[in-house]
Amino acid sequence: MNDVSELKEFTLVHARALQLPPTLYEGVLERVTNDEDGAPGSWAVEWSATAAALAASGELLPAFLCSAMARFPFVDGPARHAAYEQARSVFDRWRAPHPDIERVRVKLPGGELACWAGGLSAAEPKPLLLVTGGIVSVKEQWAPVVLQAAQLGMAVVVTELPGVGENTLVYDRESWRMLPAVLDAVADRADVSRTYALANSFGGHLALRWAGQDPRLCGIVTSGAPVGVFFTDGDWQRRLPRVTRDTLARLTGVGPGDGTALGAVLADWALTPQELSALDIPVCYSASSRDEIVPPGDTALLRRHVRRLSFNEFDDVHGAPAHVQETVRWTFGSLLAMRDGAPPS
């Protein structure tokens, strides 16, 4: 069972980023009183009921987004499992009139993952935008970005981190290897030699490690990504919100509440100054000055060692929920600038 106040706090940035109407998500949050599986007034029950009502009235996009909220932060029982299945079912109904959204499966030795893609073409391969969220985001949340492929002039592939949604890989230090595997899977229909990553939070950490290993990655736009100190500072980890600790424990296979074991797993995930200094691509990073998940030492590490860093900062908490529209504008402005060869501002 999760802390309800934390759930309400950390879902705000997702609700706003997904452009759910404030009256809708504020109403749901007011009705949520507990997180007991299947109980009246519980997190999954209230979000799922709202999703079902929206789906019944034909409002499929907000319906599957609400179902995704219902399984937040991860599937831990029957109610969240049902919510996730509901999200996938309604998503399939929503994408039915959009034949350009296609499914891509990627198999790896340790498991497999699925992606939603758009703009793929063997006849006219375009630069690739690879999108992934963090440890609580299913790919369906960000799939509407796929519909912007033509507008961006890029192929777009959206996926999710290990242990999230349909990704059956275990989340570990080598999880970055899934990202080049996605490129390999679409290399016949996209110009993967010109790949850009829009990878937020823990997805940004994977992208930064990947960047030092694969010359096909030409730039990264990220927000609130842990980098180094997060993984090595045990005191900071003990002060993390419980929802973050519990989700990381779930994805890495550590027992819930075992902070010592989690710290031991994460200890060698930090990117070193040498790895960051070796990066020769533009990195656009949006930070929050009051981030309760990413420590100040991580942004300091980036500013000291990443040579082509474009740094943006808001006076806000993790994910900058009070600055969602500004973040969206900065994100896509930075992406298009680096794709066109201009230095991001």
pLDDT digits (tens, 9 = 90+) for 18-52: 888 999 999 999 999 999 998 999 999 999 999 99
Q: Is the confidence at residue 119, as pLDDT, over 90?
A: yes
Question: 341 or 47: whose pLDDT is higher?
Answer: 47
Residue 114 has pLDDT above 70, yes or no: yes
Tokens representing 130?
């690879």
Q: At what angle do helices 4-17 and 242-252 cross, to 10 degrees?
A: 80
Could you tell me what percent of the chain has a pLDDT over 90? 81
CA distance 51 to 24: 10
* pLDDT score for 10: 86
- pLDDT-derived band at 56 (thresholds 50, 70, 90) equals very high
| pLDDT > 90? residue 113 | yes
Interacting residues of 53 by C-beta distance below 8 A, sequence separation 6+:
none
Which pLDDT belongs to residue 259?
65
Report the mean per-residue pLDDT for the chain.
93
Provide the pLDDT for residue 319. Answer: 84
Task: Determine the Cα–Cα distance for residues 96 and 15; give it in Å rounded to an integer.
Answer: 24
132 pLDDT more than 80: yes
Q: Quick check: 256 pLDDT over 90?
A: no
Angle at 248 between CA 244 and CA 254, to 5 degrees: 135
Percentage of the chain beyond pLDDT 70 is: 98
Nearest by Cα to 311 from 299, 320, 323: 299
Contacts of 335 (CB under 8 A, 6+ apart): 129, 152, 196, 198, 219, 221, 284
Per-residue pLDDT of 165-222, as tens digits, reads 999 999 999 999 999 999 999 999 999 999 999 999 999 999 999 999 999 999 999 9
pLDDT classification of 260: cutoffs 50, 70, 90: confident
| pLDDT attached to residue 258 | 60
Whether 110 shows a pLDDT value over 70: the answer reads: yes
Q: What is the pLDDT of residues 139-161, one digit of tens each?
A: 998 888 899 888 899 999 999 99
pLDDT score of 165: 94
pLDDT confidence band for 268 (50 / 70 / 90): very high
Count of C-beta atoms within a 10 Å radius of residue 187:
15
Give the model's pLDDT for residue 12. 85
In DSSP terms, which residues pair with 283 in a beta bridge? 220, 309
pTM of the model: 0.93
